[in-house]
Structure 1
């Protein structure tokens, strides 16, 4: 999930968040919706997940300019039960739908122990793990997934068949460890990483994509117009992607991933994706504090296993991202060149100065 940024510009997270808020407000979002979105995207940057952070803000604003995204839409409940809800995102910002939904699920789980909230008519919600982490930081188990546009092939098929439908979970931990966080696309790699390689004119590792004939290739130059992502672990990634569609588009009576347009490559059309959020309160089965302590003990045992030759340590899911986060909070968020260029273009488009404008590198 993380990107090496040792030579990148360092910017305080608070400055980046303020810049994102100002850009969204200038483009027509209310301050409340702007702050909700900026917080998610900036936090994503602190974890080193640059492909799903502030780099995409300009794309959301451009999509709104073309009438395919409502920057100020507020999700509304279509179904509101004691431990479940179906929300209509109203073609608004995916971060607003995501935060609203996970907060709703947390509130319901506090009362009933477990809750599920599904969102329809939403837009790309960035890094799924950020929402699962919100539940974990509330002392609960968080699971979330989203369907996306068809960008992945499946065994035996040629071309794009299904979305690589991201899936994430997070677990609360005790006094020793930070919350566990796991966030993956169900393709061999996130599609935005293939797009980045294409833009840089570089090749991709074998096993990431297939060409227009369905044959494995390392050349991303024609993606996404031609070819497709490969599923993670062949039929296993395919099967999990289908499950995500069943819990999002099918459950919400909304488009499945083979029917939704891309938020990025179909700028003139609403994204129309669906998300699901499941939150479980460990107090349901013996108490939140003992659960967190047991997670700590489990992680301690994982870290204490014998190491392979040449290995320095065993990491648990999310541990590397927390290290990125702590450095970013202490020293500033490292912005890769492509993220900086994207934010400078956005600054010029909406008339908001970039946080580093006039600053010597």
Structure 2
């Protein structure tokens, strides 16, 4: 039987969101902005993407308290054309900056133009899918790129971390009640998954990371001292490098040796960069015709011959959509270590956090 420290705890979505919003409010984030930030985190947990959910909440709060992030940023456009913009996030929470930048891109594309918005002076912005889906809900294909907030990957053949795992996301509108969404880091596993494993005291697969000695490890604590491994070997390194350049070179955000450590230097602004793009469907194809064709593309995947033991084939984003529906009804399972850390914050900030039960 699992111990209390390792047993999963169920927390209702409303209770978890209320707790996080109130804590952010206590450290100086206005209520409306706090709701937006927390919505991003809670949606990640609802979708089963725990690596970008409330496991990140304590470090976000610590960075605000220590002065590394600005709780009341003045986000502004510093350069623009009809179809492009550069946004300065004023060191605000990445979720706030990310939503504003994607809104600008969508607004610029509302009359049929493709649009791209680059960002500087932001912070870690959570799950990239959140922003790509904003565009998909407007009959646009959403593109999102971001630099990692920690250098924890070496260039191929190197022995020094000079890259993050630099996630990106692409979201396609569909004829279903969910978009097709690719959201991936360029490492075999997101570092957030290793953080979750370290908090829960559970081993990780040997191909996720190496320790500080450069050798593969299943110990998540040692992995956090070492390096994540790129997906696809040298191709993954090249992809990581490319996403990093897209995320920074158009805005003046930090890259490579300029990047500081999100967890270790909590008093230091990070100047994180992002790039947001939108492709309006109607500029290329009749929207109804597009929906018919993408519906067939989904059916082609669903109806493909299955390998032995496989009951169902999914398209990207479909599993997360099903998880969201289930967890919205049943509550969000949090690992014992994550819940314990949130309870410590509950006591420190005098904000209640009540579990619904154990899982």
TM-score normalized with structure 2 length: 0.92
Partner of 1:66: 66
Which aligned pairs between 1:243-254 and structure 2 lie closer than 5 A? 243-254=242-253
Match of 2:351 in 1: 352
**CA 1:195–1:54: 2 relative to 1, 3 Å:** closer
Corresponding residue for residue 163 of structure 1? 164
Task: Point out where structure 1 has 5 or more consecutive residues left out of the alignment.
Answer: 1-6
Equivalent pair of 2:200/2:336 in contact (CA under 8 Å): no
Moved more, 244-253 or 84-93: 244-253
Q: 1:147-184 deviations in whole A, cap 9, x for unaligned? A: 0121112321113121110111111111x452111111
In the superposition, relative to structure 1, how do residues 169 and 279 fare at CA in structure 2: closer, same or farther (>3 Å)?
same
Tell me which residue corresponds to 1:121: 121
- Rounded Cα–Cα distance in structure 2 between residues aligned with 1:299 and 1:250: 35
**1:3 paired residue number:** none
Alignment of 1:183-202 (within 5 A): 183-202=183-202
- Aligned residue for 2:284? 285
CA RMSD, 1 decimal: 1.9
SS of aligned partner of 2:144: strand
Partner SS for 1:87: strand
Q: 1-side partners of 2:329 and 2:200: how far apart?
A: 30
User: For the structure 1 residues 36 and 257, does the alpha-carbon distance in structure 2 shift closer, same or farther, using more than 3 Å as the test?
Assistant: farther
Task: Give the Cα separation in 2 of the matches to 1:360 and 1:165.
Answer: 36
Corresponding position of 1:270? 269
List per-residue Cα deviations over 1:34-60 (Å, max 9, x = no partner).
121111111112111122112222211
CA distance in 1, matches of 2:35, 2:64: 17
Please name the residue that 2:151 is paired with.
150
Q: After TM superposition, give the deviation of residue 200 of structure 1 in Å.
A: 4.0
Paired residue for 1:4?
Answer: none
1:142 deviation in Å? Answer: 0.7
Corresponding pairs, count:
351
Can you list the C-alpha shifts for 1:227-256, whole angstroms capped at 9, x where unaligned?
211111011111111111221211112211
1:327 corresponds in structure 2 to: 326
Check the 8 A contact 1:281/1:288 in 2, yes or no: no
Distance in 1 between residues matched to 2:8 and 2:322, nearest whole Å: 17
1:142 touches 1:169 (CA, 8 Å); kept in 2?
yes
Quickly say closer, same or farther: Cα 1:251–1:206, change in 2 above 3 A. same
- The more displaced of 83-92 and 103-112 is 103-112
CA distance in structure 2 between the aligned counterparts of 1:72 and 1:97, rounded to whole angstroms: 11
Q: Does the 8 Å contact 1:261/1:272 carry over to 2? A: no
Given the superposition, is the C-alpha separation of residues 55 and 219 from structure 1 closer, same or farther in structure 2, using an over 3 Å criterion? closer
3-state SS, counterpart of residue 110 of structure 2: helix
Shift of 1:104: 1.2
Q: Distance in 2 between matches of 1:180 and 1:113?
A: 22
CA distance in 1, matches of 2:14, 2:357: 19
* Aligned 8 A contact 1:33 1:96 in 2: yes
Instruction: State the 1:214 CA deviation.
Output: 3.0
- CA deviation string 1:161-212 (max 9, x = no partner): 21110111111111x4521111111011111222333344443222212233
TM-score normalised by length of structure 1: 0.91
Name stretches of at least 5 consecutive residues in structure 2 with no aligned partner: 1-6
Deviations 1:233-282 (A, max 9, x none): 01111111111122121111221144211222322212221011111110
* Cα contact 2:140–2:279 (8 A) shared by 1: yes
Contact 1:154 1:234 in 2 (8 A): no
SS at match of 2:111: helix
In structure 2, the residue corresponding to 1:117 is in which secondary structure?
strand
The answer for the alignment partner of 1:215 in structure 2 is 215
Offset from partner CA, 1:6-63 (integer Å, 9 cap, x none)? x743333233222222111111111121121111111112111122112222211111
Distance (whole Å) between structure 1 residues aligned to residue 297 and residue 257 of structure 2: 39
CA contact (8 A) 1:154 1:231 kept: no
| Inter-partner Cα distance in structure 2 for 1:255 and 1:360 | 43
